[in-house]
Structure 1
Amino acid sequence: MIEGTTMSSTSSDRTRREWLIPVLLLLPIAALFLIGYVFPISQLVLKSVQSESGWTLKNYSEIASSSSFFWIVLKTLKLAATVTTICLIVAYPLAYTISRCSPRVATSLLLVVTLPYLTSVLIRTYAWIVLLGPSGPINKMLLNVGLISEPLQMVFNSAGVYIGMVQVQLPLMVFPLYAALVRINPSLTNAAQSLGSPPSDAFLRVTLPASMPGLVSGCTLVFLSCLGFYITPELLGGPDDYLIAQGISLRVLILGNFNEAAAQSSVLLIAVILIFLVFRNRIADELDDRPQGGAGISSDRAASGLSLAHPLAGRLSSALHGVLLRSHELLSLVRRPLLFFCAGLAILLLVLPFAIVVPLAFSDAPYLTFPPPAYSLRWFTRLFGNSQWLDALSFSLRWAGFSALLSALVGIPAAFALVRHRFPGRLPIYLLLISPLIIPHVVMAVSLFFAFAKSPLIGSPLAFALSYTLIGAPYAIVVMVAGLKRFDRTLERAAASLGAGPLTTLRTVTLPLLLPTLASAAIFAFIVGFDDVVFGLFLSGPSATPLPMRMWDNIRLEISPQIAVIAVLFLVVLAALCLLRLFVGAALKGRQDRAAVRAGHG
């Protein structure tokens, strides 16, 4: 009886520990999100149903009956759908090409895709203003080859918005497509071709169906990101390119119509959340605990695509068999040149802005002109001699760096809790913690502005520390979750078998092996804070002006080569961080190899 009681007590203690550990790991980020995310957004929604006389739905009825708001929403949806479609068409050939390359080439190409994603949206938008301008290089090239007789108006209108948005959003489409394509077993397409199917037909029946999870994920991410995107439409668009994010900002910063802005923000928030919940399984795929072999899963999905499901489609395919076969044979002849051409265009679209901003930084001209008539360091000298720019740079470096550290400190324990422990509500908690990646920043910034407007937090550095951590911590969580899912726990079990406790194993084995992942998490968190503009529009003050706000004012009012200097400095810092991360990874791999050799000799 006593032995049974002891065993029951031991089991109860173990159960309490299993519950307590993830709670303690999630506690820091839960406190952060409660103060800076859940409370402000709840205040935003409450403000949308308030007026001077009390609770009311008047704000919603006004925007529901407003034809202008209806057209703004329609234009926003059109932009999001069009950009998503173009990104899919441009990204698929690139992702497919990368998935079929050797590991070394694929790594290089993925780096080319990643670097623009990590580079400031302001810098890339600035580059497109130069590229698409009436006297820009694209118009000059078209004039020189005789395709046009006068410069095209491609900036400060819808054309500029679409081009800039596609370039900004393209990496978000490439990454999930590549992740899905690289898991497809090549033997499936080989089997289809061996049975007489032309390569293009095998692609449509095998590869495309098997890549649908990545396609859906990429389209969802791009569409949601476009719904509340602010920077590129604001800088590249014209008066007719007025979207819902601009409308919210206008009502808060200029008109002072806070209740209507809260209602519009709530409508945008609800729309994004609904789409987010519908596709939650695709977005949270990395938290899936099923075996990640990939080949078997992809094989089943691909196999389902080998036959046409609908009887009518099957009969139509049989009737047109001859025509389709000849079309596929013709397409198969040109598939490789066509694929490489499309992939090359996608790479060109990604890197073209950098080919512009780097020469501009060394321009000797007193104004913006490309190509520069001569080269000098005059704009570097001007930047380092301007105290306002230096103060803004120092502010961004300090507080983005502090927020990156804070993001890692709260995000890494949360990732351990989500990956290493099983508890009720795990998936909803994960979705909540990564939701700032999806929720439009303009909504989050307005909610912080309303929640803390009467406190000294607005206009202080602490406001930026809070906002940067809120948008940086989800990146740290996503990177760490992916790293922990790939982590081989054999060495952890070996350390435990030698008598090492959990904390000792964590300190001496787990964290050192995860050092490259930790570095990546911190780099992503730093860059997302350093690049932010939207929070700066609502939270800046005389003693708290980040560098992106200086850049924002310069682009809107002056458009000088000064931004190109910032771009070069940013690229240098980014390259140094990436090299540091690669060095740490190489050093760690060498250490692991030496340890494995010693263990083998032992």
Structure 2
Amino acid sequence: MAQTMAAGRRPVLGTAAMLAPILVLFLAAYVLPLGGLVADSFQREGDFTFANHTALLESRAFRIILWRTLTLSFVVTLICLLIAYPLAYVLARLPSRWAAGLLLLVSVPYVTSILIRSYAWVVLLANNGVVNKLLLASGLVDEPLKLAFNETGTYIGMVHVQLPLMVFPLYAAMHRIDRSLLAAARNLGSTAASAFWHIFLPLSLPGVASGCTLVFLSCLGFYVTPALLGGPGQYMLAQGITVRVLTLADFAGAAAQATVLLLVVVLLFVALRRRFAAGLGIESTGRSGRTTAARGLRAWPAPLEAAIEVLSGPLRALGSMLSIVGGPVVAVLAVLALLFLIVPLLMVIPLAFSDSPYLTFPPPGYSLRWFKTFLANARWLDAAGFSLGAAGIGAVVSLIVGIPAAFAVVRRPMMGRLPLYLLLISPLIVPHVIVALAMYFSMARVQLIGTPLAFVIAYALIGAPYVFVLFVAGLLRFDRSLEMAAANLGATPVTVLRTVTLPLLLPTLAAALLFAFIIGFDDVVFGLFLAGTNATPLPIRMWDDIRLEISPQIAVVAVLLFAALALAYAAYLALGLLGDRRSRMPGGGPIA
């Protein structure tokens, strides 16, 4: 009896041990600080009060900022959808090899520092920038257009930053659509436009919903691009929170604003929880508990179908015309979307080799003066070294806590798998400005502000969800027959893990480490709250340079980061090839 009970407890204890590291990290650096932030929003002079929230809701300025934030998030989401849908459609129709190469181009801006992307748009959109120079030279305008440091610049920069988040889920949904359905519709007399309207579009709606959700929630707490490209009187909510803390020292007001933003995000996150749960392989269920089937091949609402029937003649003629010109038009839109993503980053590279003492494009001449300036500047080198160390250690910690958690969630029997999964991915959704403010309050109490440890904890926290999500996806795709074959040949579980599972997951491991490192190395928001004299990361140096000077120095950092990304991608490809060779080895791979 005792042996049976001990055997029953063993899996539970094993699962708990696998989840303990990430839960301790989340409890200490995420859950408790957020709870403390909410509690602080109801405090004034040591007493519990609703006065902070009452004053906030009565403030016309706050209502304007909140409305501006919601409006910008909605409009940016809509623009991203309109740009990304044709691009994803074309990518889904291409052969896998071509699609993979173009998706890599889409991902380059996503893994590039957000400061560099914003800097690129300053170069392009400023009064003496590339766009205005071209417009003036063409005679289309008589004076420079105000494209930067206002609402226009904010929208352009935000769309550029968020567009990859829309493309990836759209492509994933479109790539799974069975093309034979469209062919069958054409064989039954449907035009290409009608087949798209009744078949392809409905089947792509899950990707539309996922992309819109990710972009909208990401925009709600966005800070860097609006702060650099927006006007001085056009604050977003994240900027308002930062100003209240770092400029006005209004901690209670900042806590109240952050609590309101957190409430909005949490409500949306809970309402859309099944959309996020798709990454765990959990199907959406209705109230009856039955799985909701994928929709498509169905009629649209009756009034709309009736209107289509009345207008069937003109609509069929329009559909025939769109069937002829639609393909080329969509291809052109896809190419323009790719250029929109890539060209701003390419414009930065020549600036790193400029011999001009100030920012100008095109450079009047070329030299290595700015590389020499960078390598001779101790402040920049110290900041770069600090970021490399803190982000590297944070990424390793993310791996240590994230990998066991992914194995536990995917492979261990447990209750509450979905709530746990949502908790562990929530730092991807909750705006960093809220988490950074919460950590600022909690770390100030234990005197960790301005220390390397504060950054390692912060980077580990924001990197762990990337590791967790990537390994969950990798494990769900993993062919377990290889592990079972090794076990049948007498390998112990540890041997199977060491010689089969982890070697075949090396590409996933490399991608997780890269993303965890980049998300920490690129961070600005945590740096604004946690930096000190002996702990100043490179993004803060870049932030100060862009805001105060806008010199070609940032372009040097961009070129160095591009080179590092190229080397990292080459290593990732090498690991992928190594994994493929091992999986094809006779006798089941690495065991042999």
Q: Give the TM-score range, shorter chain.
A: over 0.9
| Structure 1 match to 2:529 | 538
Distance 2:337 2:413 in 1: 41
Residue 567 of structure 1: how far off its partner (Å): 0.2
Matches within 5 A, 1:38-117: 38-52=31-45, 54-117=47-110
Q: Report the counterpart of residue 547 of structure 2 in structure 1.
A: 556
For residues 108 and 8 of structure 2, the distance between their equivalents in structure 1, rounded to whole angstroms, comes to 45
- The equivalent residue for 1:266 is 259
Kept in 1: contact 2:522–2:539 (CA 8 A)? yes
- Matched position secondary structure for 1:255: coil
Name the structure 1 match of 2:288: none
How far off its partner does 1:302 sit?
4.7
Please report how far the alpha carbon of residue 596 of structure 1 lies from its aligned counterpart in structure 2 after TM superposition. Answer: 5.7
Q: Which amino acid aligns with 2:582?
A: R
Counterpart position of 1:352 = 343
1:377-420 per-residue CA deviation (whole Å, 9 max, x = no partner) reads 00000000000000000000011011111101100000001111
2:485–2:588 contact (8 Å) kept in structure 1: no
Aligned ranges for residues 118-133 of structure 1 at < 5 Å? 118-133=111-126
Aligned to 1:331, which of 298, 319, 322? 322
One-letter amino acid of the structure 2 residue matched with residue 250 of structure 1:
V
1:109 is aligned with what amino acid? Answer: L
Alignment-derived partner of residue 275 in structure 1: 268
Query: Who is 2:364 aligned against?
Result: 373
Distance in 2 between residues matched to 1:147 and 1:329, nearest whole Å: 36
The DSSP-based 3-state class of the residue aligned with 2:316 is: helix
Residue 311 of structure 1, CA deviation: 2.2
Contact in 1 for aligned 2:120/2:345 (Cα 8 Å)? yes
**Contact preservation (8 Å) 1:533, 1:549:** yes
- 1:213-263 CA-to-partner distances (Å, cap 9, x unmatched) read 111111011000000100000000002321111110011111111111101
Q: Is contact 2:504-2:582 (8 Å) kept?
A: no
Question: C-alpha separation between the residues in 2 aligned to 1:269 and 1:536?
Answer: 20
User: Contact 1:206 / 1:302 at 8 angstroms: preserved in 2?
Assistant: no
**Contact 1:210–1:299 at 8 Å: present in 2 too?**
no
* CA contact 1:94–1:346 (8 Å) conserved in 2: yes
Unpaired segments of 5 or more residues in structure 2?
A: 285-290
Out of 502, 505, 515, the position equivalent to 2:493 is: 502
- Is structure 2 residue 129 aligned with structure 1 residue 147? no
Which whole-Å deviations, capped at 9, do the CAs of 1:45-72 have from their partners, x for residues lacking one?
A: 0000011151000001001111111111
Kept after mapping to 1: 8 A contact 2:56/2:257: yes
Secondary structure of the residue that 1:211 maps to in structure 2?
Answer: helix
Q: Which letter does structure 2 place at the counterpart of 1:172?
A: L
SS at match of 1:417: helix
* Alpha-carbon distance, 1:135 to partner: 1.6
Question: How much does 1:290 deviate?
Answer: 6.0
| 1:146 to partner: Cα distance | 2.7
1:473 maps onto 2:442 in alignment? no
Paired residue type of 1:307: A
Q: Deviations over 1:403-451 (max 9, x none)?
A: 1111011000000011112311111111111111111110011001111
Q: Distance in 1 between matches of 2:530 and 2:362?
A: 37
1:21-32 aligned within 5 A: 21-32=14-25
* Distance of 1:233 and 1:160 partners within structure 2: 8
The answer to whether the aligner puts 1:222 opposite 2:215 as a matched pair is yes
- CA deviations 1:542-591 (Å, max 9, x no partner) are 00000000000000000000000000000100110111010111122123
Contact residue 64 and residue 70 of structure 1 kept, 8 A: yes
Alpha-carbon distance in 1 for matches of 2:203, 2:295: 5
Query: Does 1:586 pair with 2:577?
Result: yes
Instruction: Tell me the SS of whatever aligns to 1:32.
Output: helix
Kindly indicate whether the alpha-carbon contact (under 8 Å) linking 1:458 and 1:541 is maintained by their aligned counterparts in 2: yes
> Post-superposition shift, 1:324?
1.0
In the alignment, does 2:28 pair up with 1:35? yes
Secondary structure, counterpart of 2:445 in structure 1: coil
Q: What is the SS of the residue equivalent to 2:356?
A: coil
Code of the residue aligned with 2:142 in structure 1: it is S
- C-alpha separation in 1, matches of 2:306 and 2:226: 46
Compute the TM-score of the two structures, normalised by the length of structure 2: 0.96
**1:192 Cα shift?**
1.3
Question: 2:480 is matched with which residue: 481, 489, 504?
Answer: 489
Given candidates 249, 267, 280, the residue that maps to 1:256 is: 249
Whether 1:434 aligns to 2:445 is no
For residue 597 of structure 1, report the CA deviation from its aligned partner: 9.0
Residue type matched to 2:333 in 1? C
Confirm or deny that 1:243 pairs with 2:236.
yes
Q: Which letter maps to 2:206?
A: P
- Whether the 8 Å contact between 2:449 and 2:530 is mirrored in structure 1 is yes
Matches within 5 A, 1:375-390: 375-390=366-381
SS at match of 1:376: coil
- Alpha-carbon distance between aligned partners in 1 of 2:106 and 2:7, rounded to the nearest angstrom: 46
Distance 2:376 2:354 in 1: 17
| Cα pair 1:87 1:166 within 8 Å, conserved | yes
Q: Is the 8 A contact 1:209 1:301 kept in 2?
A: no
User: Which runs of structure 2 are paired with 1:455-466 in the superposition (5 Å)?
Assistant: 455-466=446-457
Is 1:321 matched with 2:332?
no
SS in 2 for 1:284: helix
What CA RMSD, in Å, does the superposition of the two structures yield over aligned residues? Answer: 1.7
CA contact (8 A) 2:443 2:454 kept: no
**Of the candidates 288, 298, 312, which is equivalent to residue 303 of structure 2?**
312
Alignment partners' CA distance in 2, 1:248 and 1:467: 19
Residue identity opposite 1:262 in structure 2: A
SS of residue in 2 equivalent to 1:354:
helix
Q: Distance in 2 between matches of 1:204 and 1:279?
A: 26
TM-score by length of 1: 0.95
Question: For 1:452, what is the secondary structure of its paired residue?
Answer: helix
Task: Output the amino acid matched with 2:67.
Answer: L
Q: Go from structure 1 to structure 2 and tell me whether the alpha carbon gap of 1:187 and 1:302 turns closer, same or farther (over 3 Å shift).
A: farther
Q: Is the Cα contact below 8 Å between 2:193 and 2:319 reproduced in 1?
A: yes
Match of 1:294 in 2: none
The answer (yes or no) to whether the contact 2:29–2:458 under 8 Å persists in 1 is: yes
Aligned to 1:522: 513
Amino acid at match of 2:585: R
Which segments of 5 or more consecutive residues in structure 1 lack a partner in the other structure? Answer: 292-297
- Answer with 134-143 or 507-516: which moved more: 134-143
Q: Distance in 1 between matches of 2:87 and 2:292?
A: 22
Taking the aligned partners of 1:14 and 1:185, their CA distance within structure 2 comes to: 47
SS of the aligned residue for 1:439 comes to coil
Structure 1, 134-143 or 341-350: larger mean CA deviation: 134-143
Give the CA deviation at 1:472: 0.4
CA distance in 1, matches of 2:333, 2:16: 49
Cα distance per residue 1:299-355 (max 9 Å; x no partner): 96354x4322x2222221111111111111111111111111110111011101222
Determine the C-alpha separation between the residues in 1 that align with 2:464 and 2:205. Answer: 29
Aligned to 2:501, the other structure's residue is in SS state helix
Query: Structure 1 596/134 Cα, relative in aligned 2: closer, same or farther at 3 Å?
Result: farther
Residues matched between the structures, number: 585
- Which amino acid is 1:248 matched to? I
| Structure 2 residue 183 is the aligned partner of structure 1 residue 164 | no
